[in-house]
Chain A
């Protein structure tokens, strides 16, 4: 697989997953603003933007949040921006992705125009989640499990781990009590799975444990870190022991074991730094993957003089 194509596939995976999770996160945020009677909206909004690593000027209104995270078509943090970027990357990798996946991404980008700022945000978020599901469904049904699949899957699992960590950080937003754990579980589509697995009412520790380290649920952080590690191993294949990829797995593995082997109470008391640690591990891994697979060491450039 060409390095350039692999990079595009990796980012398609990340962008689509980011759009999906941003929609979930915004949906729950708007809900909190509605339901929390003592909410200090501007600071809640500001700290949400901080969680998503966005620039902002206070006071931040609800419209600002929606603009920056939902509708801005030039930002790598907004739904519209990431869906557009996913489609651009798909165009670059058009000959390796299947026609079905390409058309689903292309149509998604075209239909984005229908959603303007004034329309019901909740419907928009539902639509975004649906489109992401269509993309994943088609790609899982039409892609060979070769490197093309692996790089997309790698991007997707890294992004999902990162975004769930950000979502959990909203538990401690400024100016509001934040979403309760049942809401967080619902946001991750995890409430039913939780009830079946834990067979008990939602308690803080149990719910946190489920979203952090459940080994079987596909939207827990540890599950996705583990998935990324496995995929990295598959990409390396026979030629393992290559230092850079090994280091990427190391970063992910350390973050995962830290969650798995720490008492859940400890993590909860220290939630924000712990979640930032997860995000940092994902970023480090992403950089190392880029260095190893996307930018070969010996890049020759011509010095622009004719012989």
Chain B
């Protein structure tokens, strides 16, 4: 390599036509990234690649992997962190909390007296036609009123740098384990930066979640038994389920470990049956209880819904939450925030056309080639069509789908997601990202995990970031944390306190450090004895 001296990993990095979070259009580094920029600037390109490889290897050893064509690959974590300034976070965090409170109020209303329908905020038809509105759980009152214990509100940043909500996830949002393990891996990789930047910690997530679940336990249970319910070891999010169970110190159960007797839920242990009070379930509604939902499901336990109705067990998140994160319901969220909380929404939505409304439908069908069309109940980027990249046949197919089922689709303008420098085979290049902050509602308060999962589309120009579509992740650093570490200046009395700590001597084998004598004698003996015969 004969690279000249001022060749750094940043050489050749130029933002594309989107908001680049690290660099403005003139090529000046934005303030939150200053430290990260300088740190990477000091490295050679090879150094950066070798760190990236070391990162992948720790993930292999820890088993943070996903299956790709029968082969285990490390979960892709990019070496360049995403940095969010403390001032930006001061908008995001209350914005997300506000959203969660509104969703919570909406769900309580939908499964209760439906005031929002009577007051004309949301059409009744919209609720009744939602695939995830379950009459079978109407009237189930959760113990502390919480239905959305954990939520993930997906945010994007548009070309003007404004944060917008892209979608709400209040069923079983996943990805938080990657936030936790990304942080662990990155702090080992860049200890210098962590010391200096004041990054807000994420590791308290498990403790917070456990506390929130404990608070949601049925009435009269002081020391609840909490379990995490997983579909099983072959589920793609199994790593997350086991990590959460492990870091919360609770059992990870499968459906076959549970049984319900007389409206109470038990798990099968080597010492017989043990009562379960709170189930943090990572199984979809449909599979949770074969008595009420899909009868062929082996992933849940028969009788769970009945037990929840009797108030003997808390299911978190509550069944039927899907009615609130429907993408069509999403368009009503700003109104719902005003209706329930009497507040203006802090985070705006992305403009969305409701295809049920004839005018909107007509406009969308005219401009299909420049819009994004999404199914209302899709997840993981499935079924999304980006008009400008679709072939005429695909557009025609979308048109037919919309005409036959307008309730099932929404349309949005193409949002040029913001970009963040990402290590690719060609060096550092801007790649599109989104952000999923996680929020925990414990009944009194909504706590937003500082940071969240940043997903990055690894292919150039790709706007869909889901990991099932070949996306990676980044560790998300929110600045402005308080540093608890002692600074350079010690108060003068600290020495005195230190000497006040009496020490107990560490002992050793008496011959090892004291008696050099014997060794000397033995050596002399040999010297005097001369050559052995």
Contacts and interface: CB of A to CB of B under 8 A. Distances in A.
Interface of A: 1-6, 88, 91-92, 94-95, 99, 102-103, 106-107, 110, 147, 151, 235, 239, 293-294, 296, 298, 300, 302, 304-307
Contacts of B63: 91, 94, 102-103, 106
B343 to A, nearest CB: 40
A110 B17 CA distance: 43
Contact of B290 (A5, A294, A306): A306
B270 A235 contact: yes
A95 B252 contact: yes
B295 interface: yes
A97 to B, nearest CB: 9
A298 B268 CA distance: 10
Closest 5 CB pairs of A and B: A95-B246, A94-B242, A95-B245, A306-B295, A302-B302
Contact of A92 (B233, B270, B295): B233
Contacts of A296: 268, 272
Interface of B: 60-63, 233, 238, 242-243, 245-246, 251-254, 256-257, 259, 267-272, 290-292, 295-296, 302
A147 B251 CA distance: 14
B290 A304 contact: yes
B271 A1 contact: yes
A179 to B, nearest CB: 37
Contact of A2 (B267, B292, B296): B267
Q: Is the interface of A mostly helix, strand, loop or mixed?
A: helix
Q: Which of A1, A3, A302 has the most CB of B within 10 A?
A: A302
B251 A2 contact: yes
Contacts of B253: 2
B270 A304 contact: no
Contacts of A2: 251, 253, 257, 267-270
B70 to A, nearest CB: 13
A305 B238 CA distance: 28
Contacts, number: 71
A96 to B, nearest CB: 8
Contacts of A91: 63, 233, 238, 242
Contacts of B243: 95
Contacts of A107: 61
B30 to A, nearest CB: 37
A5 B295 CA distance: 26
A132 B233 CA distance: 24
Majority DSSP secondary structure for residues of B touching A: mixed
B257 A3 contact: yes
Nearest to A88: B233
Nearest to B267: A2
A3 B269 contact: yes
Given A2-B253, A102-B63, A106-B62, A293 B270 contact: yes
A112 to B, nearest CB: 13
18 contacts: A1-B270, A2-B251, A2-B253, A3-B268, A4-B254, A88-B233, A95-B243, A95-B252, A102-B63, A103-B62, A110-B60, A235-B270, A293-B270, A302-B291, A304-B290, A304-B296, A306-B291, A307-B291
A302 B270 contact: no
B233 A1 contact: no
Nearest to B253: A2
A110 B245 CA distance: 25
B62 A147 contact: no
A4 B233 CA distance: 12
A300 B296 CA distance: 14
B303 to A, nearest CB: 9
A304 B233 CA distance: 23
Contacts of B245: 95
A160 B302 CA distance: 41
Contacts of B302: 300, 302
A235 B272 CA distance: 13
Contacts of B269: 1-3
A300 B258 CA distance: 10
A302 B256 CA distance: 11
Contacts of A103: 61-63
Given A3-B270, A88-B233, A91-B63, 12 more contacts: A3-B268, A91-B233, A94-B63, A94-B242, A94-B246, A95-B242, A95-B252, A103-B61, A106-B61, A106-B62, A235-B270, A300-B259
A111 to B, nearest CB: 10
A102 B254 CA distance: 20
A298 B256 CA distance: 12
Nearest to B247: A95
Contacts of B291: 302, 306-307
Nearest to B248: A95
Nearest to A151: B270
Most buried by B among A4, A106, A293, A298: A4
Nearest to A237: B271
